[in-house]
A and B are shown apart, each in its own frame.
Chain A
Amino acid sequence: MSKYGTLYIEGNSFFHRLAPSIKFIIFILWSITVFMSLDLRLSLALLAIGIIFLFFAEIPFRIIKNLFAVVIIFNIINAVFILLISPEFGAELTGQKTRLCSVLGFPVLMETLFYVITISLKYLSLLPMALILIFSTHPTRFASSLNKIGIPYKIAYTFNIIFRYIPEIQNEFKIISQAQAARGLSYGKDEKSLIKRMKNIFSITIPLLNTSLERIDKITNAMELREFGKYKKRSWYNESKISRKDLLVLIAAMFLFTAAVYHRLTLDSWFWYPFK
């Protein structure tokens, strides 16, 4: 974690320079495109584009590798669950049944297998743009960009406070857990009993809660002294102006999005299955 307490990595890549609000809109369009269909071709294309984007965003490979590993493990567990709980789902989607083999008495359908691969890639194809948004957006710019895309500033400002207080809360958590550790309470692996571990973790949480409740008063007073919320609008210290380049990127993204919507409308089913 960086000094901001988040995953932001400093850099000067194309995505770092892009206005955060534009990045946000692209992320939303990207998600809608993924949600629209269950299409292996689309997922593969988006994944390929996303990986190229990640390369351009200059995010260290070792970090991406770990995060992709987490999501791939999640996908494998998810796929096993799908195969166990609803092994006939592929047949329901396509209307045909092709038995491949049977594992321990469970029949494995080719359609379900294809469906599992499709949905795993669908989950993966959502990842790159989210990573770019997370890794290349400075946390304090996050709030102003949310305000820019139409969210009221009082709600957007919460993100400013959140990011500012992450390091303090982490610090406090460390102090409290060390104080409890001195009393012999541990929430780590060295405590064998699961129930005790749970109790210990709660005994760290409650002091943390109490101090946070006290903190609210202090921050509120400080902000009210500075007349927070008096006017309908506010300006931001970290405001990023939308340049002509940003607008071009936005127009390109919009164009690609409309192309994806058009492509989706020409298909009659949202699940793409080539072996008919």
Chain B
Amino acid sequence: MIKNPLDFSTRTVVTISIGAALYGIIGLIGIPIGPNVQIRPSILILTVYSVFFGPVVGFFAGFFGHILTDLLAGWGLWWNWELSSGIYGFCAGTVCLFKGFDVKYGLYKVWHIVFFIITTVSGFFAAYLFAGFLDIVLMGEPPRKIIYQVCIISLTNSIVFLCFTVPVIVGFLRTNKKNSNLEIED
């Protein structure tokens, strides 16, 4: 559990930076599976950072990391899509606000995982709907096309998330549980 999610300590600053740097660099790698659609492993990094360190770190790591991807690729800065990464990171991190959930010590219950899956999948939809909505308002894209786009991206991302990311997170939780049978007393 994250005690105070708004606490901006030195550790938070460093965590955000390292998360963003990793997310940004790995964001350049993608396996094309169709026109303008890629499967990116970077989303795994963002999810892990969100689950480890909470929603605020997730938000900034996603936002800054995506800015970094755009800076490195040089195809311009697209604010709405960068913010959408931040929103996704935020949603994926909300599970950290629960007492009794801590990846570091492998503390979790099954409903935490279920909650995590629900928030993350809805996070995909929220993030891409937000970006798509701003594309309609700011760029003047046709709404129907954006709805199709948002659905396709969110669904493919959710499938990749369920197949690859959830096992990784559960794996982290279980390996960390093995080496922590000591309890913290408050």
A212 in contact with B142 (CB, 8 Å): no
A270: chain B residues at CB < 8 Å are 140
Within the complex, which residue of A119, A130, A162, A194 is in contact with B76, where a contact is CB–CB below 8 Å? A130
A130 in contact with B77 (CB, 8 Å): yes
Q: Which chain B residues numbered 103 to 149 have a C-beta less than 8 Å away from chain A?
A: 138-145, 148-149
Within the complex, which residue of A70, A86, A205, A206 is in contact with B144, where a contact is CB–CB below 8 Å? A86
A71-B76 contact given A85-B145, A202-B164, A208-B26, CB 8 Å threshold: yes
A74-B29 contact given A7-B71, A161-B17, A162-B20, CB 8 Å threshold: no
Chain-A contact segment, one of B33-41, B90-98, B178-186: B33-41
B13 in contact with A194 (CB, 8 Å): no
A194 in contact with B31 (CB, 8 Å): yes
B39: chain A residues at CB < 8 Å are 198
- Please count how many residues in chain B sit with their CB below 8 Å of the partner chain's CB atoms: 51
B68: chain A residues at CB < 8 Å are 162, 166
Within the complex, which residue of B11, B18, B21, B140 is in contact with A119, where a contact is CB–CB below 8 Å? B140
B26 in contact with A205 (CB, 8 Å): yes
Within the complex, which residue of A31, A133, A157, A205 is in contact with B44, where a contact is CB–CB below 8 Å? A205
Q: Is A23 part of the contact surface with B, judged by Cβ < 8 Å?
A: no
CA distance A138 to B150 in the complex (A): 35
Q: Is B155 part of the contact surface with A, judged by Cβ < 8 Å?
A: no
**B contacts with A: majority SS:** helix
CA distance A219 to B8 in the complex (A): 15
Chain-B contact segment, one of A94-102, A222-230, A234-242, A252-260: A222-230
Q: Is B64 part of the contact surface with A, judged by Cβ < 8 Å?
A: yes
Number of contact residues on A: which range applies? 35 or more
A-B pairs under 8 A by CB, number: 151
A134 in contact with B71 (CB, 8 Å): yes
B25 in contact with A166 (CB, 8 Å): yes
A169-B21 contact given A77-B35, A202-B44, CB 8 Å threshold: yes
B79: chain A residues at CB < 8 Å are 31
Q: Which residue of B lies closest to A155 (CB)?
A: B60
Q: A residues near B, CB below 8 A?
A: 1, 6-7, 27, 31, 35, 38, 63, 67, 70-71, 74, 77-78, 81-82, 85-86, 89, 119, 122-123, 126-127, 130-131, 133-135, 154-155, 157-162, 165-166, 169-170, 173, 187, 194, 197-198, 201-202, 204-206, 208-209, 212-213, 215-216, 219-220, 223-224, 228-229, 270-271
What are 19 residue pairs bridging A and B, where the CB atoms are less than 8 Å apart in the complex?
Answer: A31-B79, A71-B75, A74-B75, A81-B149, A85-B145, A122-B140, A130-B76, A131-B76, A154-B13, A162-B68, A165-B18, A166-B21, A169-B25, A187-B29, A197-B31, A201-B31, A209-B48, A212-B18, A228-B13
Q: Which 8 A-B pairs have the closest CB atoms?
A: A161-B17, A130-B76, A86-B142, A89-B142, A35-B138, A158-B17, A38-B140, A85-B145
